[in-house]
Structure 1
Amino acid sequence: MQQLEALTRQACEQASGGYAVIPILSAKEAEVERQMKICNSCRYCEGFCAVFPAMTRRLEFGKADINYLANLCHNCGACLHACQYAPPHEFAVNVPQAMAKVRVETYADYAWPPALGALYKRNGLFLALALVAGLTLFLMLAAWLQGSLLRAPSGANFYSIFPHKLMAGLFAPIFLLALLSLSLGVRRFWKDISPGAATAEAVGDAADKVLRLKFLDGGHGEGCNNANDSFTLARRRFHHFTFYGFLLCLAATSVATLYHYLFGWEAPYGFTSLPKLLGISGGVSLLIGTTGLFALNLRRHPLQGDTAQRPMDRGFIALLFLTAASGLMLMLSRGTPALPLTLCVHLGAVMALFVTLPYGKFAHGIFRSAALLKWAIEKRQPNSLKLSDD
């Protein structure tokens, strides 16, 4: 199928003679187009989330429209359980699943560098754990060669194991490259979906939806469907624990960086210091969130989303869990012979997280935020379809 699409696209480009060519839909995008046309005729789910009001502004669905709607979908499952045309009906309408399959195509298509887009299909739980193990062993070898792996550190200072400049030199380029990759990918996505001018009101509206995870409430405030027809707010709550835990850990690292370079205050910091308070609360929040999300993922019904993406989902959850758990263990092992080994595990988990950041589940938060901003802009513009009807 992919080879056929590529050959067809090449033939169209050669025959276009310089004229604009309408992008060809993939099989998964064509399935979303089919389902959206059915939904546009029904509109029973119009009040569930932003996908359906955005859908009603369109009669035709091009590639950019489908990618936009797919990333606007939060996979809450409410429309699947409310749909009269859902399987086993012959129309087989399953919007959450169809959107999920297109979303991962979006990440791969907009990946930078483009050649690394295929990593989305391979970035699973096994790869995540293997990467952590490999990097941890590499760091242990480095510590052993300099004689610090088996030697009790001087006090609680882990810079006696790995100097600060060495750690900054290892992690800063990887983190910056991850940010660059995500930024360039979402920039291309933003350009293709043609969002229009963003006002302060639209930015504030989108930020509110992102920070509150508004569309994980099922459109009625009762929550998502996960394993059956019952509604639950668990998925939204565990997402909040994970999201804000990650931000708190990032804030802890940022404050510690300012302490080091601006004031000359070197780690480790006291338990009542701002970096430590932020790091502890963020680590605990991440542990709660990732544990809950992993349990929900194991119980999630096959019709809810794309089961082929579960290895990628679980790999990302595992990396966040290992980063938080090893970070808390690092704090508890201060001044003990276990500090060198714990530090190697923590640094291995963090490095694996950074390496896979642009090519894993983390991308969904970036693309979804862009889609929410597009919706916040779009809904403030006149609806040309309603104007034409009048």
Structure 2
Amino acid sequence: MSSLEALQELTRDARALALGEVIPPSAAESEVARVMQICNACRYCEGFCAVFPAMTRRLEFLKADVHYLANLCHNCGACLHACQYAPPHEFAVNVPQAMARVRGQTYHDYAWPLALGQLYKRNGLTLSLALVAALTLFLALAAALKGGWGALWGVDLGANFYHLFPHNLMVGLFAPIFLFAVLALAMGVRGFWRDVKPATSGADVSDAAASEAAHDVLRLKYLDGGHGDGCNNEDDAFSLTRRRCHHLTFYGFLLCFAATSLATVYHYAFGWVAPYDLPSLPKILGAVGGASLMLGTAGLWRLNLRRHPLQGDAAQKPMDLGFIALLFLVAASGLALWLVRITPAATPALALLLCLHLGAVMALFATMPYGKFAHGIFRTAALLRHNTEKRRPNPIGLGSD
């Protein structure tokens, strides 16, 4: 879709909302509805993942149903290679690709503020790396203006980077960006939840549903290909590599976040001023998390480049790679910063490496609400609705969960 067509579609939708009209489905939404009608008649893949049992509870697929199913799809690729109606068949059934295109649309449609939704279409690898470079340069210039170029090279910081950027200054820089990212993601998923809840029984989430959804999220249950053998990647062979790389990335990120959160508690609650070294708990969590994050993102980068072209939306590949690159750069620069800090002979590199690390972290936070990170939030919401809906009687008396 060209920029002009996208603008025309956005203007049409805004006008429809203002007049209280029903917004017509986009081409991507219509394709998912068409594919789901065919799949609902076939049902060969009914046991593959959560999408197909949810599909069997519907006879028609309206906009909210399509958004819900698209975010329930984990894009493992199993249904594409199992389907007798997949391309080059004239029915051209491609569930992973159709769902991926609608997922990208939902991130855009539910972005908050709405005007920033266009960033999903521009938030690619080049922009991510350019933002890191720009923020790194900004921080380096700020340090140079404060203490001269010697503040960046050749001055002994005493292995303490707070001598270059005081702790309160870092908090003042990063807290607003992080809090805005959390707010923007929360507002986006709130709109998604509001629209899909009536289409998924309308019932509130029970403790049992929330527990099962959390179990599904933490285990990445639906990246098992429906039978435990894993996803398809570049061919029809099953592999657990994608699931393992996602686990390394997910839990690596959580460990790094836990390390930062615990360090904040140490600093403000106990007065234990950073930086910390082994065997302190923040350093253990950060080191293990950083290594896990590097391994996971390196694996995801390789898998993304080798993914079968029919298994996803090629237009979203730059956004995927940009997010992977930012996570890898944050982890790699963080570990390198620690190693340089404990190496006395490497003091001159400490300031520049600190600017690089802080620039990467700031770029990650700034792009978080309008990049691939959103898929984890929206998918969790979809799984909550699925585990709530399947506990309700099937409204059409067909299929099973």
TM-score, length basis structure 1: 0.95
Change (3 A) 1:337 1:11: closer
Deviations 1:312-366 (A, max 9, x none): 0000000000000000011011142211011000000000000000000000000
Offset, 1:311: 0.4
- What is the CA-CA distance between 1:11 and the residue it aligns to? 7.2
Would you say the 8 A contact 1:225–1:232 is kept in 2?
A: yes
In structure 2, how many angstroms separate the alpha carbons of the residues matched to 1:47 and 1:369? Answer: 20
Structure 1 residue 115: Cα displacement: 0.3
Instruction: Name the amino acid aligned to 1:177.
Output: F
Partner deviation per Cα, 1:127-174 (whole Å, 9 max, x = no partner): 010000000011111111222212433321110010111100000000
Structure 2 counterpart of 1:131: 131
Aligned-residue RMSD, C-alpha: 1.6
Q: Check the 8 A contact 1:71/1:371 in 2, yes or no.
A: yes
Question: Which residue is equivalent to 1:353?
Answer: 364
- 1:320 touches 1:353 (CA, 8 Å); kept in 2? yes
Q: Distance in 2 between matches of 1:155 and 1:10?
A: 57
Does residue 257 of structure 1 match 2:268?
no
SS at match of 2:165: coil
CA distance in 1, matches of 2:395, 2:319: 39
Q: Which residue of 2 aligns with 1:247?
A: 254
**Does the 8 Å contact 1:5/1:24 carry over to 2?**
no
Give the 3 Å change call, closer, same or farther, for CA 387–345 of structure 1 in structure 2: closer
1:227 maps to what in 2? 234
Matching residue's letter, 2:311: Q
Instruction: Tell me, in whole angstroms, the C-alpha distance in 1 between the residues paired with 2:17 and 2:321.
Output: 39
Could you tell me whether the CA contact under 8 Å between 1:153 and 1:339 is conserved in 2? Answer: no
Aligned to 2:190: 187
Q: Please say if residues 252 and 288 of structure 2, whose CA atoms lie closer than 8 Å, have aligned partners that are also in contact.
A: yes
The CA deviation at 1:2 is 4.3
- Residue in 1 that maps onto 2:383: 372
Q: Determine the structure 2 residue equivalent to 1:176.
A: 179
Distance 1:7 1:314, change over 3 A: closer
Distance 2:360 2:65 in 1: 37
* Pairing 1:293–2:293 present: no
Q: Does 1:325 align with 2:328?
A: no
Report the number of matched residues: 384
Q: Deviations over 1:293-317 (max 9, x none)?
A: 0000111110011111100000000
> Retained in 2: the 8 A contact 1:238–1:289?
yes
**Native 8 Å contact 2:107 2:374 kept in 1:** yes
**CA apart distance, 1:3:** 5.9
Query: How far apart, CA to CA, are the structure 2 residues paired with 1:324 and 1:293?
Result: 14
Corresponding letter in the other structure for 1:162: F
Identity of aligned residues (%): 68
Alignment partners' CA distance in 1, 2:238 and 2:297: 20
Specify whether residues 307 and 12 from structure 1 end up closer, same or farther in structure 2 by C-alpha distance, changes over 3 A only. Answer: closer
Q: Which amino acid aligns with 2:324?
A: I
Task: State the secondary structure of the residue aligned to 1:386.
Answer: coil
- Displacement of 1:268 after TM fit? 1.1
- Check whether the contact 2:16–2:22 (CA below 8 A) recurs between aligned residues: no
**Residues 1-390 of structure 1: matches in 2 within 5 Å?**
1-2=5-6, 5=9, 9=13, 21-147=21-147, 148-194=151-197, 195-334=202-341, 335=344, 336-386=347-397
| Inter-CA distance 242–3: structure 2 relative to 1 (3 Å threshold) | closer
TM-score under structure 2 normalisation?
0.93
For 1:322, the aligned partner's letter is L
Q: Deviation per CA, 1:97-141, whole angstroms, max 9, x where unpaired? A: 000000010000000010000000000000010000000011111
- Going from structure 1 to structure 2, the CA distance change for 1:9 and 1:310 (only over 3 Å counts) comes to closer
Distance 1:9 1:306, change over 3 A: closer
Query: In the aligned structure 1, how far is the partner of 2:104 from the partner of 2:116?
Result: 13
